[in-house]
Amino acid sequence: MFKVSYTLLDQKSSGLDVGDSSLGGAIYNQFHPQQDLSRDSFVSRHRLVSYGAFDLPFGRDRKFGSSISKWADAVAGGYQLTWNMFAKSGTGFTPFWFCNNCGPVFPGNIASGFVDAVGDFSGPSFRPLVTGNPYQGVSGDHFFNPDAFGLPPTGADVFDNPNIAKRNSLVGPGTWGVNLGLPKYFRISETKKLEVGADFNNVFNHPLLSPLDPAFAMLGDFNVSLNAAGQPVILPEDVNPNPDFGRNNFSFSQEGIDNRRSIRLRLRLTF
C-alpha cells in the first residue's frame, strides 16, 4: 500500500494573514495595495508527499526464506517496511530594513508609524532597493546575497520607486525528509498480538533548512537623520547590517519529521 501526491500551488494575495489575528496584515503602500499582490508567505509552490507500507519478501510465509527455521524467522523474517516523506520548494520572504528612531523623522517625511515592510505589525520597517541578483555570489550557509540590496529611498518615492523589493520576492531553500519504520508482528492468539521493531525519524539525517522566521530576510537596522535642508537621510555610520541576513545553519522539525535523526525501538502488546 502506498500513496504519492504532488501539489502545484500558486496562491496570491495583497496582504499577510497573521494566523489567529482578526486584524489581518498591513499593506506596505496603502495608496496602491495592488503593488503588494504576490505569492503568499509560507507557501511552497511545489510539494510532494508520500506514505506507504511494504511487506519485505523474506520469511517463512514470504517469497524468500520460506524454509528457514522458526527461530531464524522470528529474528530476521516477516518484517514490514513503512515510510512517510515530503519534499517541497522554498517559501517567499520579503527583504527589509528596520528603522530604530523613526518617529518623528521618517524616510520620505511620511509622518506615519504604520509602515511595515513585511506586514506583520513589527515595523517601522522599509523595503530596500534591489541593486543586483540576490542569488549570485552566495556561499556556505548563505542563501541570499546582501550586496544585492541597498538602503530604502528617503525621498518622495519611498513607496513608489520602481526598484523597491517586492513582497515575498525572495525564495528560501526547499527541503525534504523521510521517516522509516521496520515493524514485525507476532500473533499470539485470536485477540493478542505482539509488535516489535524500530522507527527511524529523519532516517537520512538530512537537515531541514526551510526557515520559519521572517527575520531570515532582515538586512539590518538604521537611524534616520535630517540634513541641513531638513530632509531625511540615512548616513553610513547609522547603518547596522545584519550578518545573518539570508543565512541559515539550523534544521527545523516540520511535516512530522524531526530536525535530526532519531531512533525509537518498538515493543507493544495488543490484547
Looking at residue 188, its pLDDT comes to 79
First to last CA, the chain: 25
User: 3-class DSSP state for residue 224?
Assistant: coil
Please name every residue paired with 93 in a beta bridge, in sequence order, or none if there are none. Answer: 170
Looking at residue 17, its pLDDT comes to 62
Q: Count the domains in the chain.
A: 1
Query: Could you read off the pLDDT of 50-62 as tens digits, one per residue?
Result: 999 998 888 777 7
CB 236 within 8 Å of CB 161: no
CB 52 within 8 Å of CB 137: no
Query: Could you read off the pLDDT of 4-36 as tens digits, one per residue?
Result: 999 999 998 887 766 555 666 778 888 888 888
Write out the residue range of the structural domain in which residue 209 sits.
2-270
Please name every residue paired with 176 in a beta bridge, in sequence order, or none if there are none. Answer: 87
pTM for the full predicted model: 0.83
Burial of 31 (0-12, 13-18, 19+ CB in 10 A): exposed
Q: Which helix (H) or strand (E) holds 72?
A: helix 70-76
What is the grid cell recorded at 198? 524500530
Looking at residue 18, its pLDDT comes to 60
Looking at residue 268, its pLDDT comes to 87
The closest alpha carbon to 26, from 109, 141, 117, belongs to: 117
Q: Which helix (H) or strand (E) holds 75?
A: helix 70-76
Q: Report d(CA 42, CA 25) in Å as an integer.
A: 14
Q: Report d(CA 82, CA 158) in Å as an integer.
A: 55
Which residues in the chain land under pLDDT 70?
17-24, 65, 75
